[in-house]
């Protein structure tokens, strides 16, 4: 199999479902070896099955340095190296406003959202760094439109994703010139992203929301994406041939948050009529 990532080895956190799963299977198509670290044994086992055993699954918690190191060791033992670490596991706060977070849950909710979305990335990076230095590899972190703009979540999620932007830039500096560090910032996505247990939202899924209605009059590109729509951006950043000069960069693929107009989201809605 020949592809942009032929022969490379990647480890993806939260790789058993949603965006992480889409990245994992796209990387397989591009010729990569793939390992996933996920907390759900059943979802991970299903990925292994559907990939005919080409995906190596490690069951663990991204908030544990030991679990992250076990995942790196497992991948290196099987494939001989690690070229790409993708920090992707996340929880969303379902846009819970600060005033709506109960006083007796705010500490636990903060620890959970920042624990998975920020600490999980930091620990994964720490575990992966030695192997990535040896391979002259790269890290890629999943950010979000909430890493740049308000209303993509509540203060917990938005704060955490802003922190990830800083993490990308700082780690890009610290790991240079040996390891490239970049990010991908998707927008609205139809996926099973769950909420924090501390707020009783762990059984909710992002795909259950009326996403089409929420963004139809909001974005220049008012289409709710599916996970596969974003996987190619990770392939691009993982490819030395195609992005060897990129580090400390974040690809915003959010439907055009930064290009919204004041009176209407898109300025070219009349173009088809004008050009026949």
Question: Residue 157 catalytic?
Answer: yes
DSSP 156-175: HHHHHHHHHHHHHHHHHHHH
Per the document, the length of the chain is: 276
List b or e across 252-261, with b for residues whose CB sees 16 or more CB atoms inside 10 angstroms.
bbbbbbeeee
Q: What angle do CA 56, 188, 151 make, to 5 degrees?
A: 125
The tokens describing 193, both together, are 């992203």
Distances (CA, A) of 68 to 82, 102, 220: 13, 32, 39
Active-site entry in 94, 157, 173, 234:
157
- For the CA atoms of the chain, what is the radius of gyration? 19
Question: What residues act catalytically?
Answer: 157
């Amino acid at each position: 199999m020949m592809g942009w990532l032929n022969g490379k080895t990647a480890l993806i956190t939260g790789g058993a479902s949603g965006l992480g799963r889409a990245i994992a299977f796209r990387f397989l198509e591009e010729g990569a070896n793939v390992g996933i670290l996920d907390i759900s044994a059943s979802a991970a086992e299903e990925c292994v099955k559907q990939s005919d055993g080409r995906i190596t699954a490690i069951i663990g918690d991204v908030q544990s340095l030991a679990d992250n190191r076990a995942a790196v060791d497992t991948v290196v033992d099987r494939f001989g190296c690690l070229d790409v670490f993708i920090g992707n596991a996340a929880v969303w706060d379902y846009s819970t406003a600060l005033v709506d977070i109960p006083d007796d849950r705010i500490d636990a909710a903060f620890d959970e959202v920042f624990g998975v979305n920020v600490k999980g990335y930091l620990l994964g990076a720490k575990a992966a760094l030695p192997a990535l230095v040896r391979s002259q590899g790269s890290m890629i972190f999943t950010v979000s439109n909430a890493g740049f703009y308000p209303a993509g979540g509540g203060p917990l999620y938005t704060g955490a994703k802003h922190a990830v932007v800083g993490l990308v830039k700082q780690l890009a500096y610290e790991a240079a010139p040996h390891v490239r560090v970049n990010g991908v910032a998707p927008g609205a996505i139809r996926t099973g992203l769950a909420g924090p247990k501390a707020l009783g939202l762990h059984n909710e899924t992002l795909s259950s929301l009326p996403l089409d209605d929420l963004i139809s009059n909001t974005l220049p590109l008012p289409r709710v994406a599916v996970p596969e729509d974003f996987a190619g951006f990770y392939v691009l950043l993982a490819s030395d041939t195609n992005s060897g000069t990129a580090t400390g960069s974040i690809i915003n693929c959010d439907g055009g948050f930064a290009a919204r107009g004041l009176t209407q989201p898109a300025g070219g809605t009349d173009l088809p009529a004008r050009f026949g």
